[in-house]
Amino acid sequence: MTYVIGKECIDVQDKSCIDVCPVDCIYEGGRKTYINPTECIDCGACELACPEVAIFPARKARGNEEWETFTRDNAAFFTEVLPGRNAPLGDPGGAGGVVIGVDTPLVTDWAG
């Protein structure tokens, strides 16, 4: 299972989660960060570090429409072709401080 970053991160990106992630699985979009569901080891360090309370375990999303939406959207960041890219990001094996700089359509169009 993995952790997911919700709407509270949009346009905030405190990045405390990135600093504590032991496997470097949190990637920066333009307006939000995303956790790679394949690379995440389910340690929970990111959830504890997030001052925005934006991070939740995907296993707890069931029945919460908003969390289910962000769980799907988080996975889409890695599996779908993002604007300006020619292939899905996939599983690069660590963010390495690289800023992807674009978001999924949900986040790009988010008005809150």
pLDDT tens digits, one per residue of 26-75: 999 999 999 999 999 999 999 999 999 999 999 999 999 999 999 999 99
Tell me 14's DSSP state: -
- The domain spans of the chain are 3-101
Give the 3-state secondary structure of 62-91: CCCHHHHHHHHHHHHHHHCCCCCCCCCCCC
- pLDDT for position 39: 96
Q: How confident is the model at residue 13 (pLDDT cuts 50, 70, 90)?
A: confident
Sign of CA dihedral 112, 110, 17, 36: positive
Class of the domain covering 3-101: alpha beta
